[in-house]
Amino acid sequence: MSCLTQDTHLEKYTYHAKFIELGLITEHNINQIKLINQTIFPIKYGESFYKKCTISSDLCKCAFYKGLIVGNVCCKIISVGGISCLYIMTLGCLPSYRCVGIGSKMLEYVHQLAKDKNIRLIQLHVHTVNNDAVQFYKKRNYTISATVENYYCLLEPKSAFILEKMLD
């Protein structure tokens, strides 16, 4: 799903921003997160992933729109070439809530989290055929640093882009 023209999108984004909040992922809402992830991502995440979501209060957040959980972001800190990196494991929202600023709000949170932790590199993998996601990140100054063949075992094609951004 592509968003509307820039001007219309900006107006729409400004209107919807007041309805978007980020909150904790808890044992009480983790089943909603599981359902959302099953809907929006082509791979299945295991129970250990969801357990980490409930205990990583600053690294994982759910996105609310008018009080409803409609998306989530979950990160982890890894080392890339000897430097700390905030790796985005998931960032997405339900299709009917896209293009109103929810993804942008979650990504802004990731950027602020990285700055708060003195991490300058943010990285993620994106399926090479997920053009909407690639454009979302490119629009926010992420670059494709590599293509990894055979990254996804159960998807076709199996390749993924590594997208990354260095913060100032």
Residues of the chain with pLDDT under 50: 1, 4-7
- Residue 125 is among the residues annotated as catalytic for this protein: yes
Torsion (CA) 21, 164, 85, 105 in degrees, nearest 10: -10
Alpha helices in the chain (DSSP H): 6-17, 30-40, 47-55, 102-116, 131-138
- Residue 4, pLDDT score: 43
pLDDT at 60: 98
Q: Supply the pLDDT for residue 16.
A: 84
CA-only gyration radius of the chain, Å: 16
| Alpha-carbon distance values, 100 to 67, 84, 114 (Å) | 15, 31, 24
Task: Look up 16 and say whether it is catalytic.
Answer: no
Give the active site residue among 9, 16, 111, 125. 125
Q: Which domains does the chain have, with CATH numbers?
A: 6-166 (3.40.630.30)
Give the per-residue pLDDT at 11: 64
**Active-site entry in 50, 87, 97, 137:** 87
> Exposure string (b/e) for 62-71, b if CB count within 10 Å is 16 or more?
bbbbeeebbb
> What pLDDT digit, counting tens, does each position of 31-75 carry?
999 999 999 999 999 999 999 999 999 999 999 999 999 999 999
Q: What is the pLDDT of residue 10?
A: 58
